Amino acid sequence: MNRTPLADWWRGGVAPILVLQGKEDINAVPENAKRLAAEFPNRVTVVEIPDSGHAMLPEQPERIATAVLTYLRRTLP
């Protein structure tokens, strides 16, 4: 991470971005997702996953699946 400047990857290209954010994540803190969404409001969708940290997939698999499917239904033609 230290070898690649933040500016080189922060934008994430030009495609829409879905951020699944664990509300209790202390490694990838929720504030980062909020900053990304504020900087790119037309491209970034943030879904906060309650009761989950950085290992949110095993912690909240149903909520993650629901969030991804909901996002895809809204964004795909």
CB 33 within 8 Å of CB 43: no
Instruction: Please state, as a whole number, how many other Cβ atoms lie within 10 Å of the Cβ of residue 29.
Output: 14
- DSSP H helices in the chain: 6-9, 30-39, 56-59, 61-75
Helices (H) and strands (E) counted in the chain, each on its own, are 4, 2
pTM of the model: 0.84
pLDDT in tens, the chain (77 residues): 678 888 887 788 888 999 999 999 999 999 999 999 999 999 999 999 999 999 999 999 999 999 999 999 999 88
